[in-house]
Amino acid sequence: MNLAELNKVASAMVAPGRGILAADESSGTIKKRFDAIGTECTEDSRRDYREMLFRSNDAMSKCISGVILYDETIRQKAKDGTPLVKLIEKSGSIPGIKVDKGVQPLPNCPGEVVTEGLDGLGKRLDEYREMGAKFAKWRAVIDIGAGIPTYTCIRTNTHALARYAALCQEHGIVPIVEPEVLMDGDHGIDRCYEVTEFVLKEQFQELYYQRVALEGMVLKPNMAISGKKAGKRAGIEEVAEKTVKLLKACVPGAVPGIAFLSGGQSDEEATAHLDAMNKIGNLPWALTFSYGRALQAAPQKAWSGKAENVAAAQRAFSHRAMMNSLAAKGQWKQDLEKKAA
C-alpha cells in the first residue's frame, strides 16, 4: 500500500469547493428515474445521459472532483468512441467505481439488510484500477424503525465496510466508506443523531481492527436530520450544528474529508445544510458533497431524453454543481438560487 499516493487522491477528492458526483445508480434505480421523465431506459440512453453530464465542462472542471461510476458505465464509450473514463479524466476529475453488490435481507433480523460483494473483490478492484478507477464506493444501509437498528445489523455492516476498505487500500484504491442511516422514517433529529453516533463509533472501531489507514479514505455519511415523515422537521441551523457536533465526536482528524450523501433531501435543502456546516468553520477535515439525486434531479428533468434539451440540462447541472461548490466553501446564498430560476 502506497499511503502517500492514497492520501493524495483522497485529498484531491475533497479539494476546496469540489465534490463528488454519484453517477453509480444501478440499472434498476436509473430506470425509475428515467420512467419519471418519460424516457426509455436502454444501454444507449443511459450512456447518452451520463455522457451529457461528463461533457458539462463548467461543472466538471470547476466543481466536480470525482465521479462514482457503475460497472456498466466504466466500460462504456461516448458516441464518438472516447471511453467515458477518459472524458472524466480530461475534465480534471477522478474516476471511481461502486463495488458493492447491493443488499440482501440480514438473517434473524427482520426488516434489516446487509450489503454483499466481498467475494472476489480483490480481483474486481485490480480490473477497475486497470480501467482507470482511483477510488471505490461501498454503501451500507441502516434503517431506523420500531426495535431497529439492532446491534447485529450495525456490527455486520460496519465490519463488511471495514474489510472492503482494507482490500481497496491493499489494491491501491481509495475507499469511500458509506454507512448510511436512512431518513425514511418518522423519527426526529435526536433519534437520527443517536443511531448515527452509534454507527460511526462502531465504524471507526472496525476500521482500526482492519488496519485501514484513515489518511487514505473518505467518509460518506448521512447528516443528523429528521426522518422524511417526521411531523416537525429540524431546521437548517439545527441540522448543521448537530451534524458538526456528531462528526467531531466520532470522526478522527486524520480522515482527509467527509463527503455527505444527500439521502433523499431536496436539491436546495442538501446545499443549504452543507453551506451552514461550512459556515460554522474551524473543522479538522474538509466537508463537501457526494450527491446523486441532489445534483441530477434538475438536469434529468430538463433533459427528458431529448437531444435538443442537452444544453439546457447541462446548464441545470452546472448550476447545481456551482451551488454545492459554494456551499462546500460556506459561500452559498439563497438568493443565488432565485437569480438562476
pTM reported for the whole predicted model = 0.97
User: Bridge-partner residues for 41, per DSSP?
Assistant: none
Three-state DSSP state, 254: coil
Q: Which residues of 133-164 are buried (b: 16+ CB within 10 A; e: fewer)?
A: bbbbbbbbbbbbeeebbbeebbebbbbbbbbb
pLDDT (tens, 9 = 90+) of the chain, 341 residues, equals 799 999 999 999 999 999 999 999 999 999 999 999 999 999 999 999 999 999 999 999 999 999 999 999 999 999 999 999 999 999 999 999 999 999 999 999 999 999 999 999 999 999 999 999 999 999 999 999 999 999 999 999 999 999 999 999 999 999 999 999 999 999 999 999 999 999 999 999 999 999 999 999 999 999 999 999 999 999 999 999 999 999 999 999 999 999 999 999 999 999 999 999 999 999 999 999 999 999 999 999 999 999 999 999 999 999 999 999 999 999 999 999 987 65
User: Bridge-partner residues for 138, per DSSP?
Assistant: 177
pLDDT at 100: 98
- The C-alpha cell at 186 is 418518522
334/108 Cα distance (integer angstroms): 47
Alpha helix (H) residue ranges in the chain = 3-13, 27-36, 43-54, 57-62, 71-74, 84-90, 121-130, 151-170, 189-209, 236-250, 267-280, 293-303, 310-327, 334-340
> Residue 308 carries which DSSP code?
G
Q: Are 178 and 221 in contact (CB under 8 A)?
A: yes
32/159 Cα distance (integer angstroms): 31
CATH number of the domain residue 137 falls in = 3.20.20.70
Q: Are 98 and 70 in contact (CB under 8 A)?
A: yes
Q: Which of 178, 180, 202, 206 is catalytic?
A: 178
> Residue 285 carries which DSSP code?
S
Q: Which of 98, 134, 137, 220 is catalytic?
A: 220
Treating both helix axes as pointing N-terminal to C-terminal, what angle do 267-280 and 310-327 enclose, rounded to 10 degrees? 30
Residue 301 is among the residues annotated as catalytic for this protein: no
**Distances from the Cα of 5 to the Cα of 2, 116, 185, 256, angstroms:** 6, 28, 40, 13
Q: Are 278 and 328 in contact (CB under 8 A)?
A: yes
Domain of 253?
Answer: 3-340
Three-state DSSP state, 38: coil
Specify the pairing of strand 103-105 against strand 113-115. antiparallel
> Residue 77 carries which DSSP code?
B
Three-state DSSP state, 65: strand
pLDDT at 341: 58
Q: Are 251 and 204 in contact (CB under 8 A)?
A: yes
Residue 127 is among the residues annotated as catalytic for this protein: no
253/53 Cα distance (integer angstroms): 33
Instruction: Quote the number of domains for the chain.
Output: 1
213/201 Cα distance (integer angstroms): 16
> Residue 96 carries which DSSP code?
E
- The C-alpha cell at 92 is 480534471
> Residue 147 carries which DSSP code?
T
